[in-house]
A and B are shown apart, each in its own frame.
Chain A
Amino acid sequence: MPKYVKFAVQALFYAAFVAAIGVFSAWPVYRQIPEDSAQIKLSFNHGGGRLQDCRKLTSEELAKLPSTQRRPNNCARERQPIAVQMLVDGAPIYDAVLKPSGLSGDGQAETYKKFIVPAGKHTIVARLRDSKRTEGFDYESSFEVDLAPQQNLAIDFKAEQGGFLFR
């Protein structure tokens, strides 16, 4: 091969190399969720009530304990599981019982879930039970939303702020 042809082929090779780099550094384009849909993200940490009420120790029981550990109440640390439900336009999309975290079940329960829904108007109902009751819910919020395409609606829960927070 004559020298200039070699250089031309080298140039072509370099061009192909950097073209591949340029192209695959941003293409093919990726779409996380379908074009005319939106995302609802439900995520919170929340600690339910104690599973058992505290019990007053009898004086005999107290006497048996080492003096440094004498406390009048005996409280089991395990927390209540938390029941959560979410409905979009009346249809349940999430229905779960969240166990408390931690080895002895004394931590907060947590969840992090994503749901893809068509963009547009929806009624979202979120419910949560963290007490000993077996039916019904301690918190319930209903929310009318008009989701734009690609919108990310976050639903958080904070008991001290009154329950579910839509943001």
Chain B
Amino acid sequence: MDLLRRLLRYGFDTGEKLLSLAFPASWNPLLNLGALGFFFYWIVTASGIYVYIFFDTGVAQAFASVEYMTNDQWYAAGLMRSLHRYASDGLVAVMLLHILREFALDHYRGVRWFSWATGLPVLVLVYFAGISGYWLVWDKLGQYVAIVSTEWLDHLPFFGQPLARNFLSPDTLESRFFTLMIFMHIAIPLIALVVLWLHLQRIVKPRINPPIGLAIGTGLSLLVLSAVAPATSQGAANLAMVPGRIGLDWFYLGAYPLLEKLPGPATWSAAVTLFIVMAAIPWLPPMKRQRAASVDLANCNGCNRCMNDCPYNAITMQMRSDGRPFEGEAVVNPDLCVSCGICAGSCPTSTPFRRLSELVPGIDLPDRTIAAIRADTEAEGARIAGPARIMVYGCVNAGVATACRSSNVGVVTLNCTGQLPPSFIDYVISLNLADGVIIAGCTENGCYNRFGSKWTIDRLASQRDPHLRARVPRERIKAVWAGRLGVAKLRREIAALETSLKGLGPYRHHADRAVTPEDRADA
């Protein structure tokens, strides 16, 4: 399982890297798969409502009404029909990639099981919706879909009369299935939307809409496809004939030839096994995860920062329980916490300058404490030497920093770049532990913990609390969004910073810089 994940992850990382050559980081299609899914869903809905106006819901008239759209109204209803089909296919494509990517990135286990478990019914519903759609056209493909679907259901011992008998010959055809299909084709996508809403319940500010550029690009290209290669029907259904040569939509109906040719027990057990494995996979095996963040009330002043920064809604502010005169206190729900440490990076009490009291922040990760990060920083600071000493704070999810450790490059690992309180940078430079600082994380916009890189960028730019102090010389610090494939990039950036640090010369330290009134205020 681990090997499979690694291989897939390598594939996705490579794809992302290639696409990043042409796409701005925020537009990268592989970083917007869920959002593209929603986008396609809306296109399907809008075009579906349009074609429904022209669709005749009787089994005898349906085919003719669809033909009318494609042939007589090709410029409007026909175009909408094509968009409806192609956006549905696009939806399947991005959804399958989205599943693979979340799997590859290990975003489906541990406390993140919820998004996986609520995604699974969406997968099934999307397929039901697409299959019922092909049924409705009642062309040869619709006939094939109807017969193979009912034959497959007939393998189950639930139905008294074989359902497929309904399609035995032209004179046994009844419209009851057809009416059911129309109902399903409208109801299922609506149910899917409700489940999708659930899907995002545990995710703070989910990316639901793709960036405008990406939306225009995909939307326009679907439109071009619809104009160049309009979706067509494949001849009216005729139960007196076998459908013969049919163009299958492999996105939705890829398994149909197998369902048709293989024995029922084999296909049913395969389908059920696949479903069970997918449903159980978040616990196969369960994720070995660090302990959840924990709050130290004595150090929490109820400032809300950690709650605002947590990417998984794991923190709520509740009534003060220790009688101190603050508005509230942070409370962590361990069932939602992914142990990213972003909260510790945001807490005003996480400052390494604190010497008078023990360094215990208001909120901290028990398995990777801010105190331990300070201790590592000091040890690495004592070890490195040379004219251009650099302290690299590397996120373990990108995992590229340790490879760059050397006599003048110290490396301290973080659970996420967002775990680093900006005061650490100030600390390193003003205590002369290094001449420059690099923060190395996942690719830009590709943060494993969703918001770590974004909050880091904003904190360094003094746009988000806690700010990096104005006195910190910006020319000595750098954030490198290297990603898992970015060792070479990080090396290059380190070398570039070395060169410029040598040009800058040593930073002039003031003896009294070590602890200033500002720092005391921080502490």
* Chain A interfacial positions (CB closer than 8 Å to B): 1, 6, 9-11, 13-15, 17-22, 24-33, 38-39, 41, 43, 45, 101, 107, 110, 112, 148, 150-152, 154, 156, 167
Inter-chain CB contacts under 8 Å: number: 120
Q: Can you name the residue of chain A whose Cβ is closest to the Cβ of B88?
A: A25
Residue of B165, B171, B244 touching A150 (CB-CB under 8 A): B244
Known: A21-B90, A41-B168, A154-B172. 7 other contacts (CB 8 A): A9-B22, A18-B224, A24-B250, A26-B247, A30-B248, A148-B241, A167-B171
Contacts of A41 in B (CB 8 A): 168
A151 and B22 contact, Cβ closer than 8 Å, known pairs A25-B250, A27-B247: no
Q: Do the beta carbons of B86 and A25 come within 8 Å of each other?
A: yes
Measured between alpha carbons, how far is A29 from B253 in the docked complex, in Å? 12
Q: Which 9 A-B pairs have the closest CB atoms?
A: A26-B247, A9-B22, A154-B169, A14-B221, A18-B225, A150-B244, A112-B162, A18-B221, A24-B250
Q: Can you name the residue of chain B whose Cβ is closest to the Cβ of A31?
A: B245
Q: Nearest Cβ in chain B — how far from A49, in angstroms? A: 20
A-B contact pairs, 10 of them (CB 8 A): A6-B21, A11-B217, A13-B29, A22-B229, A24-B251, A25-B86, A25-B249, A30-B245, A151-B241, A152-B169
Chain A, interface SS category: mixed
Residue of B165, B171, B172, B229 touching A112 (CB-CB under 8 A): B165
Most chain-B Cβ atoms within 10 A of its Cβ — which of A38, A112, A151? A112
Any chain A CB within 8 A of the CB of B243?
A: yes
Measured between alpha carbons, how far is A48 from B163 in the docked complex, in Å? 21
Using an 8 Å CB-CB cutoff, how does the interface string of B309-335 with A read, 1 for contact, 0 for none? 000000000000000000000000000
Residue of B162, B165, B172, B221 touching A17 (CB-CB under 8 A): B221
Residue of A15, A19, A30, A150 touching B257 (CB-CB under 8 A): A30
Q: Can you name the residue of chain A whose Cβ is closest to the Cβ of B213?
A: A10
A32 and B260 contact, Cβ closer than 8 Å, known pairs A14-B221, A21-B225: yes
A22 and B23 contact, Cβ closer than 8 Å, known pairs A110-B161, A112-B164, A152-B239: no
Measured between alpha carbons, how far is A28 from B229 in the docked complex, in Å? 16
Residue of B164, B229, B242 touching A38 (CB-CB under 8 A): B242
Q: Tell me the chain B residues, 41-85 only, with Cβ under 8 Å from chain A.
A: 85
Q: Do the beta carbons of B85 and A25 come within 8 Å of each other?
A: yes
Measured between alpha carbons, how far is A26 from B244 in the docked complex, in Å? 14
Any chain A CB within 8 A of the CB of B240?
A: yes
Any chain A CB within 8 A of the CB of B154?
A: yes
Measured between alpha carbons, how far is A57 from B406 in the docked complex, in Å? 102
Q: Do the beta carbons of A152 and B240 come within 8 Å of each other?
A: yes
Residue of B21, B86, B220, B239 touching A21 (CB-CB under 8 A): B86
Contacts of B247 in A (CB 8 A): 25-27, 29-30
Measured between alpha carbons, how far is A121 from B380 in the docked complex, in Å? 89
Measured between alpha carbons, how far is A32 from B257 in the docked complex, in Å? 8
Q: Can you name the residue of chain B whose Cβ is closest to the Cβ of A107?
A: B160
Any chain A CB within 8 A of the CB of B106?
A: no
Measured between alpha carbons, how far is A26 from B90 in the docked complex, in Å? 14
Q: Do the beta carbons of A156 and B246 come within 8 Å of each other?
A: no
Q: Tell me the chain B residues, 222-273 only, with Cβ under 8 Å from chain A.
A: 222, 224-225, 228-229, 231, 239-251, 257, 260
Q: Can you name the residue of chain A whose Cβ is closest to the Cβ of B93?
A: A21
Q: Do the beta carbons of A39 and B242 come within 8 Å of each other?
A: yes
Any chain A CB within 8 A of the CB of B378?
A: no
Contacts of B248 in A (CB 8 A): 26, 28-30
Measured between alpha carbons, how far is A126 from B160 in the docked complex, in Å? 24
Measured between alpha carbons, how far is A61 from B288 in the docked complex, in Å? 72
